[in-house]
Structure 1
Amino acid sequence: MSQPDFQLSRPADECRIVVAMSGGVDSSVVAALAAKTGAEVIGITLQLYDHGEATGRTGSCCAGQDIRDARAVAEKLGIAHYVFDYESRFRESVIDDFADEYMAGRTPIPCIRCNQGVKFKDLLGMARDLGADCLATGHYVRRVMGENGAELHRGADPARDQSYFLFATTPDQLDYLRFPLGGMPKQEVREIARELGLAVAMKPDSQDICFVPDGDYAKIVKKVRPEAGEGGEIVTRDGTVLGAHQGLIHFTVGQRRGLEIGGQPEPLYVVRLEPETRRVVVGPKSALAVAAARIEDVNWLGEAFEGPMTAKVRSLAKPVSARFDGAMLVFDMPEYGVSPGQAAVLYSGDRILGGGWIAETVAAEEALAA
């Protein structure tokens, strides 16, 4: 069995490690690895939501069966396990924000909001209150000690890397966090779970938006904000009406399918959403090219950085060369799929420098005309 370094400052048998246990295979293996160090281990599970069918759905997280799975793993490992009801906090800080962002015509990323608040603020505070030496999670990122302290780096397995979702981690939080799976491929993690006889060894991974039953996010948004189902017009950039829609929540920038405006001379894509007029504005693919983006609420992980960097503007996108002056992110080449509400994460090689939220974009066409 692999035994990653938890980077403890004292002998392990004198330490206490708190593990965030979601009920999945990743956090279960983290708990097992922590217990193997000889430290006292406490597993904490936060019940985050209870949306009926979501609690029993394959790929959910932190609800229903997941809580039972976490408890069963803790019992098998012989570690303490506690469950805390954070449903109200999660609804206010993540689900309500998710709905409001869609209502405002932006594309939200609830996983980052969850890490920012419930997981890396509230849960970390709990771990400190318990006198723990660190909080360990099952994220696939690496904590590397550099010349100026702890740095956050991509996970060794590119297919599992979760660094995009953790850009808002603060230096103080990073000092206290541990990510023991960051150097492993998923296959090895599952093998450890099988060797230990953990029932979650082959449990499917949680989905991107864990609290959305069947992936129908529009249903959740309308449940939280009933007015979200109000329709409007689908128009071209010059205002020509091409059709109607049943709510902005059904669209994201860059979307092509589902517009139901056939008979056009060329494929049309969602270029922007206008919540004030409830209009969906469409245009050719060339209209999606973005030259720059204004970034808000920037978080730097460590010292300010002025060297060559790359930027990632979607979780599944490849990092691209860019320049950042603290407010404007300028791409070396036009980038597609850049949407307000999403995150722009900055890298130097494998190191995560930080990032922020995309507030607005500058179309490549506009930049050329300026």
Structure 2
Amino acid sequence: MKEREKRVLVGMSGGIDSSAACIMLQEQGYEVVGVTMRTWDVASHFTPGNDQPNEVIEAQELAARLGIEHHVADVRTEFRQVIVQYFIDEYMRGRTPNPCVMCNPLFKERILCEWADKCNCAWIATGHYCQLKDLNGYRYILTGDDPLKDQSYFLWKLPQEILKRMMFPLGGMTKASVRDYLASKGFEAKARGGESMEICFIEKDYREFLKEHCPDIDERIGPGWFVDSKGLKLGQHKGFAYYTIGQRKGLEIALGKPAYVLKINPAKNTVMLGDADQLKTYYMLVEDYNVTSLEELLNCKELSVRIRYRSRSIPCRVILLDNGQLLIRFEQEASAITPGQSAVFYEGNRVLGGGFIASQQAIKKIAAENEAKFL
């Protein structure tokens, strides 16, 4: 191998997974270069007296111990402009954002590619729990072997040019085995470390975050009405941006029975409430999709889709509508279809692609008009 082919850039967060990935790749004979992105400063991540967050310091300490080259990429301004603004904008549109899905292709992996080129690295590696497979000239993401940690759901937007440079050293391991591996290499304290937050830039409730970073939100939106499925007013809410599809807790309205958010209408500032059965459906619209092969997706006989990170995979069929959207028919009832979230398609453990769940307005009419195409 040429020198460049031996060099791999690892995204180092200072945590368990990226640390294990560095050690493993080094053992496999690669020359590891680490880069830690400083994206968003969270107060609880700083030790008094330090001007760098703990994750940066921990990554630097690991790099020094392993004797590897390490860099810090200060991308806080761009992260705020790209990822955090997307997060805020989606809620202001009455949708529920998927920041991790957007962050991987638009931000982290793109920056890793730039740093890999700067550092003369052919490869890029992360601590994600997923795997890769080359088939028919394409590189596909496969689910990780640990079903509780599989992160393939978040990576559907990655383009082929990035995937063909990627490595996921932990994909064939469980979290427990990664901890054991770290401990066996003399990193017992690191192996016992805790998990990172689901959304890295939010410490508490997203509603508090919206108020802090969009201080005029209550002036721009203001109170609106809870309505039932017939449009009858049930009571006032605080503003549509503070609610998500399927939400039951925190509605602060007494109807004498459990109520769930069924729909959000930002144009009218209304939030429709109903019972759990009204959340169920056999159809879904998806837009802005990225698939390895559209023909393969449309003709797949063993297709399934996940509509949330932790949700089960639901068998389905897909057709392409004239407006470019995908219409999905579930083989089993699904619940709480949430615009803005990701729908990720699988054939077995292989990711075929994904898209964003679109507005489900007029879904019954659209489904009825196109039902014959599924036969």
Q: Which range is displaced more, 25-34 or 286-295?
A: 286-295
Q: Does residue 300 of structure 2 align to residue 280 of structure 1?
A: no
Q: Which range is displaced more, 360-369 or 114-123?
A: 360-369
Q: Which range is displaced more, 233-242 or 174-183?
A: 233-242
Match of 1:194 among 183, 204, 221: 183
Q: Does residue 102 of structure 2 align to residue 108 of structure 1?
A: no
Q: Does residue 228 of structure 2 align to residue 236 of structure 1?
A: yes
Q: Does residue 27 of structure 2 align to residue 32 of structure 1?
A: no
State the secondary structure of the residue aligned to 1:159: coil
Q: Distance in 2 between matches of 1:235 and 1:197?
A: 59
Q: Distance in 1 between matches of 2:366 and 2:333?
A: 10
Once the two structures are superposed, residues 189-222 of structure 1 have per-residue CA deviations (whole angstroms, 9 ceiling, x without a partner) of 1112112223422111112111101x31111112
Q: Is the 8 A contact 2:248 2:260 kept in 1?
A: yes
Deviation at 1:316, TM superposition (A): 0.9
Q: Does residue 269 of structure 2 align to residue 252 of structure 1?
A: no
Once the two structures are superposed, residues 163-211 of structure 1 have per-residue CA deviations (whole angstroms, 9 ceiling, x without a partner) of 1111111111111000010000001111121122234221111121111
Q: Distance in 2 between matches of 1:69 and 1:293?
A: 44
Q: Which range is displaced more, 68-77 or 275-284?
A: 275-284
Query: Structure 2 counterpart of 1:164, which letter?
Result: Y
Q: Does residue 354 of structure 2 align to residue 355 of structure 1?
A: yes
Q: Is the 8 A contact 1:292 1:363 kept in 2?
A: no
Q: Distance in 2 between matches of 1:51 and 1:227?
A: 23
Structure 2 gaps of 5+ residues are 321-325, 370-375
> Hey, what does 1:60 align to over in structure 2?
none
Q: Is the 8 A contact 2:343 2:357 kept in 1?
A: yes
- Per the normalisation by structure 2, the TM-score is 0.88
Match of 2:33 among 34, 42, 45: 42
Identity, % of aligned pairs?
A: 34
Deviation at 1:268, TM superposition (A): 1.8
> Hey, what does 1:227 align to over in structure 2?
216
Q: Distance in 2 between matches of 1:45 and 1:183?
A: 24
Once the two structures are superposed, residues 89-125 of structure 1 have per-residue CA deviations (whole angstroms, 9 ceiling, x without a partner) of 1111111110111111111111111102111212222
Query: Structure 2 counterpart of 1:25, which letter?
Result: I
User: For residues 113 and 189 of structure 1, do their structure 2 counterparts lie closer, same or farther at Cα, with a shift above 3 Å needed?
Assistant: same
Q: Describe how 1:209-228 pairs up with structure 2 within 5 A.
A: 209-213=199-203, 215-228=204-217
Query: What do you get for the CA RMSD once the two structures are aligned?
Result: 2.2
User: For residues 151 and 294 of structure 1, do their structure 2 counterparts lie closer, same or farther at Cα, with a shift above 3 Å needed?
Assistant: same
Q: Is the 8 A contact 1:45 1:84 kept in 2?
A: yes
Q: Distance in 1 between matches of 2:215 and 2:202?
A: 16
Q: Distance in 1 between matches of 2:264 and 2:255?
A: 22
Q: Does residue 313 of structure 2 align to residue 322 of structure 1?
A: no
Deviation at 1:237, TM superposition (A): 2.1
> Hey, what does 1:4 align to over in structure 2?
none
Q: Distance in 2 between matches of 1:348 and 1:221?
A: 37
Query: Structure 2 counterpart of 1:350, which letter?
Result: N
> Hey, what does 2:14 align to over in structure 1?
23
Deviation at 1:363, TM superposition (A): 7.5
State the secondary structure of the residue aligned to 1:122: helix
Q: Distance in 2 between matches of 1:87 and 1:176?
A: 25
Deviation at 1:11, TM superposition (A): 7.3
Q: Distance in 2 between matches of 1:316 and 1:185?
A: 17
Q: Distance in 2 between matches of 1:263 and 1:283?
A: 10
Q: Is the 8 A contact 2:5 2:123 kept in 1?
A: no
- Per the normalisation by structure 1, the TM-score is 0.89
Q: Distance in 2 between matches of 1:290 and 1:179?
A: 36
Structure 1 gaps of 5+ residues are 1-9, 58-62
Query: Structure 1 counterpart of 2:168, which letter?
Result: F
> Hey, what does 2:157 align to over in structure 1?
168
Match of 1:72 among 41, 54, 61: 61
User: For residues 14 and 102 of structure 1, do their structure 2 counterparts lie closer, same or farther at Cα, with a shift above 3 Å needed?
Assistant: closer
Q: Which range is displaced more, 230-239 or 156-165?
A: 230-239
